[in-house]
Structure 1
Amino acid sequence: MTVALFTLGGTIAMAGAGTEQSGPGADQPGGTVVARLTGADLTAAVPGLDIPLDVHDTRAVPSADLTFRQLLDLVEQASRAVRAGARGVVVTQGTDTLEESAFLVDLVWPHPEPFVLTGAMRNPTLAGPDGPANLLAAARVAAADEARDLGALVVLNDEIHAARSVRKAHATSTAAFTSPDTGPLGHVIEGVPRVLTRPPRCTPLTPGPGAPARVALHTVTLDDDGHALTRLGDGDGVRGLVVAGFGVGHVPGELAPVLGGLAERMPVVLASRTGGGSVLRHTYGARGSETDLQRRGLINAGLLDPYKARVLLRLLLTTEGATTKDIAEEFARHA
C-alpha cells in the first residue's frame, strides 16, 4: 500500500530566485527563494526513498498564508486517500505555522492511519538542506504500524512528536521542533521508526458548519492594564479570547476585572506564555491569580500553549449553539 503525500509549499519546496521572501534562510545573497518544487521534485531528491508515494500537489503557499478552511479541506482530501487504501498520510508545509496546523489536524483526524506533517528549516539552495531527510523519515513513520492510532504527528530531525505537544522553539535551527513537556514520542533510528511512548488520544471533534470564528490572542506583559482589550467584541466580530498569562496563569491585578468582564460576553481562555508547563488551578489566590481568574469565568487551558488554545477555541466556536460551559468541558478534556 502507498502513502499519500500532499504538498503545501514552504521552505522544503523553495528554489530559485524571486522577489518573494519567506521562510528560514530566505534572505540569501543573489536573491530570495520562492516555492517552486513539486511533489515529484521533492521525492526525486530523496535518496533511498523506499516507500511508494501517491503525490498530490495542492497549493504552494507560505505557511503563514494557510487558513483553517484550507487545512480542514486538506483533512477531507487525506481522509479520501485513506478510505481508498493509503496506509498513511504525509503533508509537507512551511514550518512557521506547522505546530498549529498539526494540532488542528489532530483535533479532527478520525482514522487510525498516521497523519504526518514535516517540512524543512534549510531550503534546497543551501548546503545541507534537511528537507530530503525529513521527507524520508516522515514517509517511513506514515507507513509504520507502530505509528497507528497516534493521530497527527510532526516528524523532523529524525524525531517523532505528538501534535498536541510540539512547538517550534528556534527560528533557524534544524533542531527547531521540540516538545517541552514530554519530549518526542520516538525517533527514526537507522531508518526505522521507534515509538517509545503512546499518549492517550481524545475523541476526534467534528467541525461545525459555521465559518471559523474570529478569536483574539492577548499576551500579557509587564504593567499591562488591558486598555487594548476594553472594546474587544464591540462590532469587530471577535467571539472569543485567549490570554497568554504570566507563569502559571497570572495577570496584573488591574487587568483581572477587565478579563472578567469580557468572560461575561465571550469565552476567555487562560494559557501560559512560558512555552512549557501548565496553568495551575488552585495554588495562588491573589487578585489576578489563576484562582481569581477562574472565579471570574476564565477557562483554564492547562498544558495547551496559547497558540494551540486558540486553535481549539476557534474550532469549538464553529459549532452553532456551543456554550461557554460546553467549551470549558472540551478544554478540560484536552488540557
Structure 2
Amino acid sequence: MSSADRDPHRSVLVLALGGTIAMTPTASASGVAPTLTGADLVAAVPGLQGTAVTAEDFRKLPGASLTTSDIVDLVGRLEQADREGVDGIVVTQGTDTLEETAFLADIYYRGSAPVVFTGAMRSAASAGADGPANLLAAVQTATCASAREQGVLVVLGDEVHAARHVRKMHTTSPAAFGSPATGPLGRLVEGTARLQRALKRTGAVPLPLGAPGAPSEVEVVTASLGSSGILLEGLEDKVSGLVVAAFGAGHVPQTWVLRLEALAAAMPVVLASRIGTGPVLTSTYAFPGSESDLLARGLVAAGTLDPYKARLLLVAHLAAGTPRSEIAKVFLNYS
C-alpha cells in the first residue's frame, strides 16, 4: 500500500473506554487508575495535529470491568458513527480484555468504516508510555482505505491484527499482542498501514433480543490434570451455554464424559482447546473423552477459536435467539 492510501484529512472518531492508556497515579500514589479523557489522549499525540480527530468519552473503566453489555452499546455507537459518515473509528481501552472486546465488536459490527482498537501496556505517567504511539498508529490505520471492510482491527506496537486472531501473550511487555496462528495482517510503515492480505468478514450477528445488552450466561470450564469435573455439577440450572477449555486437540478426563453428555442434551456445549492456538480436531482420536467421542455425544467443535472467543460467539448467538440447530454451523466459519 502506498502513502496515497492514507488520507490525513479523513475524519476519525476516538471513543475512549478507559484502561491503562488513560491511567495516571491516584491521590494515594499507590497505583494508577483511569482519569484521562479521550480529548486528553488525543492532545498527547503530536502527530495528530492537523488530523480531523474528534474524541468522546464512552466509558472510563479498567478493561477488567467492561461487560458484554458495554460492548453491545459501543457497537450501537460505532454503527451510528458509520451512518453519519465518519471515515474511521478508534476505540481506546484496557488491554486486559481488549482481545475479547474487539472480537465481540467484530461479531456485531455491520458498518464499513474501519474500526481499530488500541490501548497501552504502560500508563500515561510511565517512562516510555506506549499509549501515544499506539493511538497515532491506530488513527493512521483508520484513515487507510485498505482497512475498510476488514472487520474490526487491533493495532499495537505498529502491528495490525485481526480481532479474531489477536491474543494478549504477555502480562507486562509492550510487545504483548500477537496473532500466533496467522501473524499480523500488516504493519505501519511511515505512517501508513500496509496490509499483506485481505480478510473475509463473517456475517454479523444481530444485536441481542429484548433489553439492550442483556447477556446470556455462558461460562468456561477448564480441564486440568486429575480434575473430577465437580465444577460441571448443577450447571444446567445456572447457565444457558458452556465452553469447555479442553486439553490439546479437544480432550477431557474420562470422568467428565457423562456429565458433558448430559449438559449437551440441555444446552449448547462448545469444545475448545485450552492451548489457544490451533484447531480442535474432529476425527483423529477415539478414546472416551477424545474429541470424536465428545462430538458424538453432542458437543460442538469451536474450530480455531480459543475458549474465550468461543464463549463470546456463543453468548452473541444465544442472545440473538439463534436456533440451537444452527449454532454448530456458526462455528464452521472459524474452522
Q: TM-score range by the shorter chain?
A: over 0.9
1:229 is aligned to 232
1:16 is aligned to 25
Deviation at 1:274, TM superposition (A): 0.5
SS in structure 2 of the partner of residue 280 of structure 1: coil
2:5 is aligned to none
- For 1:14-93, list aligned pairs within 5 A: 14-18=23-27, 30-49=29-48, 50-93=50-93
Does the aligned pair in 2 maintain the 1:144–1:193 contact within 8 Å? Answer: yes
Does the aligned pair in 1 maintain the 2:39–2:56 contact within 8 Å? Answer: no
SS in structure 2 of the partner of residue 294 of structure 1: helix
SS in structure 1 of the partner of residue 96 of structure 2: coil
In the alignment, does 2:204 pair up with 1:201?
Answer: no
Deviation at 1:3, TM superposition (A): 0.6
- For 1:165-314, list aligned pairs within 5 A: 165-210=165-210, 211-234=214-237, 236=238, 238-314=239-315
Q: TM-score, normalised by structure 2?
A: 0.94
Deviation at 1:192, TM superposition (A): 1.3
SS in structure 1 of the partner of residue 240 of structure 2: strand
TM-aligned CA distance change 1:192 to 1:17, over 3 Å: same
**CA deviation digits over 1:48-78, x for unaligned, max 9?**
1153111111111111111111111111112
Give, in whole Å, the separation in 2 of the partners of 1:7 and 1:319.
27
Q: How many residues were matched structurally?
A: 322
Does the aligned pair in 2 maintain the 1:160–1:185 contact within 8 Å? Answer: yes
Q: Which amino acid aligns with 1:7?
A: A
Q: How high is the sequence identity, in percent, across the aligned residues?
A: 51
SS in structure 1 of the partner of residue 292 of structure 2: helix
What is the root-mean-square deviation of aligned Cα atoms in Å? 1.2
**CA deviation digits over 1:155-207, x for unaligned, max 9?**
00000000000011100001111111101000001211100111211111112
Does the aligned pair in 2 maintain the 1:18–1:33 contact within 8 Å? Answer: no
Give, in whole Å, the separation in 2 of the partners of 1:330 and 1:187.
30
Q: Which amino acid aligns with 1:96?
A: D
Does the aligned pair in 1 maintain the 2:82–2:112 contact within 8 Å? Answer: no
Q: Which amino acid aligns with 2:319?
A: T
Give, in whole Å, the separation in 1 of the partners of 2:298 and 2:27.
50
Give, in whole Å, the separation in 1 of the partners of 2:69 and 2:170.
27
SS in structure 2 of the partner of residue 74 of structure 1: helix
Q: Which amino acid aligns with 1:83?
A: R
Structure 1, 150-159 or 33-42: larger mean CA deviation: 33-42
SS in structure 1 of the partner of residue 104 of structure 2: helix
Give, in whole Å, the separation in 2 of the partners of 1:71 and 1:231.
29
1:316 is aligned to 317
Deviation at 1:323, TM superposition (A): 3.1
Does the aligned pair in 1 maintain the 2:69–2:215 contact within 8 Å? Answer: yes
Give, in whole Å, the separation in 2 of the partners of 1:183 and 1:330.
24
Q: Which amino acid aligns with 2:67?
A: T
Deviation at 1:212, TM superposition (A): 1.5
Give, in whole Å, the separation in 2 of the partners of 1:270 and 1:203.
22
Q: Which amino acid aligns with 2:272?
A: A
Deviation at 1:16, TM superposition (A): 2.6
1:129 is aligned to 129
1:2 is aligned to 11
Does the aligned pair in 2 maintain the 1:51–1:139 contact within 8 Å? Answer: no
Q: Which amino acid aligns with 1:218?
A: V
Give, in whole Å, the separation in 2 of the partners of 1:54 and 1:5.
6
SS in structure 2 of the partner of residue 318 of structure 1: helix
Does the aligned pair in 2 maintain the 1:180–1:275 contact within 8 Å? Answer: no
SS in structure 1 of the partner of residue 112 of structure 2: coil
SS in structure 2 of the partner of residue 197 of structure 1: coil
Give, in whole Å, the separation in 2 of the partners of 1:95 and 1:296.
37
Give, in whole Å, the separation in 2 of the partners of 1:317 and 1:208.
8
Structure 1, 264-273 or 207-216: larger mean CA deviation: 207-216
SS in structure 2 of the partner of residue 132 of structure 1: helix
Q: Which amino acid aligns with 1:307?
A: Y
Q: TM-score, normalised by structure 1?
A: 0.94
Q: Which amino acid aligns with 1:122?
A: R
Q: Which amino acid aligns with 2:113?
A: E
